[in-house]
Amino acid sequence: MSQLIEYIKDQIWILEYPVRFGGMNLYGRMTIIKLDNGELFIHDPCEIDGLAKHEIDAIGEVKYIIAPGSYHHLFVADFQMKYPNAETFLCPGLERKRPDIKFDWILGNMPDHRWGNALEQVVVQGTKYIWEVAFFHKPTKTLILVDLLENIGDDYRHSASRLLRFWWKVVFRMWNNPKAAPEYQVGWGKKNIVKNGLDRILGWKANRVILAHGELIESNVKNILSTAWRNVLIE
C-alpha cells in the first residue's frame, strides 16, 4: 500500500496521503530528508502503514518530526507514537491551536544546528489563520512548502472530483494556475513582514519545489513563485 517514492537518490523521499478539505478529497505530501549522518527529517508527517514504516526504517533513523504549517499537524501524534524517540518541531502558533500535541521545539528563522548544514528555513507570518515555515534543501536546491503554493490542474495525477474542479476553477481560480492556498486569498496579513519571508525564499534560487497539494514543480520556479505571490511582492 505504501507509495513512498525515492525522489532524489539517497537524499529525498516523498509520500502522498489523502486528506479532506472543505468536503473535498485532496492529497497532501510528506517529505523525508536524509541528512549526511543518516538521520531522517520528516516534513509534514502522514499516517503510515506497516509497509511505509518498514521502508522508512530502511532509509535511516527518524529523528525530527516537523509540523510545518498551521494546517499540517493532523498526523503528528500518530508519527510520534511510531517514533517515540524523535523530537517534534512545530510551526509557531500550532502550540496554541493544538495544545494537545506534545512538542520539543518551535520552529524559527534559523535552522536547528543539527540540520543547518543541509537545510535553510524561514517563518512566513501570514494572517492569524495561516503561518508556514518554508524549508530549502541546499544540496539539491529543493524548496519544500505546504500551503504557500498549490499546483492542481490538467496534469493532476489524481482524478479531481467535480466539487474540486468547481472550487479550483471557478471560485479560487487556481486550476492550471499555481497559487498560495485558498486561506491566503482572504488576505496575507502584514504584507511587509510576509514579503520579507517570501523574498528570502526567492533568494534561495530553488530549482524545484516539493509542495503538499498538487504536482511538483521542476522548472521555471522563480517565475511561478513570483506570479503566485505577486500581490505581496509588488507592495
Residues of this chain that bind Fe ion (CB under 5 A): 71, 147, 212
Residue closer to Fe ion by CB (options 70, 88) is 70
Task: Name the residue among 100, 102, 106 with its Cα closest to residue 85.
Answer: 102
C-alpha angle with apex 103: 54 to 202, nearest 5 degrees?
A: 85
Nearest approach, Cβ of residue 132 and Fe ion (Å): 9
Residue closer to Fe ion by CB (options 55, 147) is 147
221: enclosing H helix or E strand: helix 221-228
Nearest approach, Cβ of residue 9 and Fe ion (Å): 27
Residue closer to Fe ion by CB (options 53, 189) is 189
Type of residue numbered 58: A
Nearest approach, Cβ of residue 93 and Fe ion (Å): 14
- 57 CB-near residues (< 8 Å, 6+ apart): none
Residue closer to Fe ion by CB (options 60, 197) is 197
Residue with cell 514543480: 217
Residue with cell 522508512: 56
Nearest approach, Cβ of residue 131 and Fe ion (Å): 12
Residue closer to Fe ion by CB (options 16, 147) is 147
Per the rule left: phi > 0, alpha: psi between -120 and 50, beta: everything else, 44 is left
Nearest approach, Cβ of residue 21 and Fe ion (Å): 7
Nearest approach, Cβ of residue 79 and Fe ion (Å): 17
184: enclosing H helix or E strand: none
Residue nearest to Fe ion (CB): 147
Residue closer to Fe ion by CB (options 120, 147) is 147
C-alpha angle with apex 187: 199 to 71, nearest 5 degrees?
A: 85
- 116 CB-near residues (< 8 Å, 6+ apart): 110
Nearest approach, Cβ of residue 187 and Fe ion (Å): 17
Residue closer to Fe ion by CB (options 35, 134) is 134
What cell was used for 54? 518498514
Q: Where are the beta strands (DSSP E) in 188-231?
A: 208-210
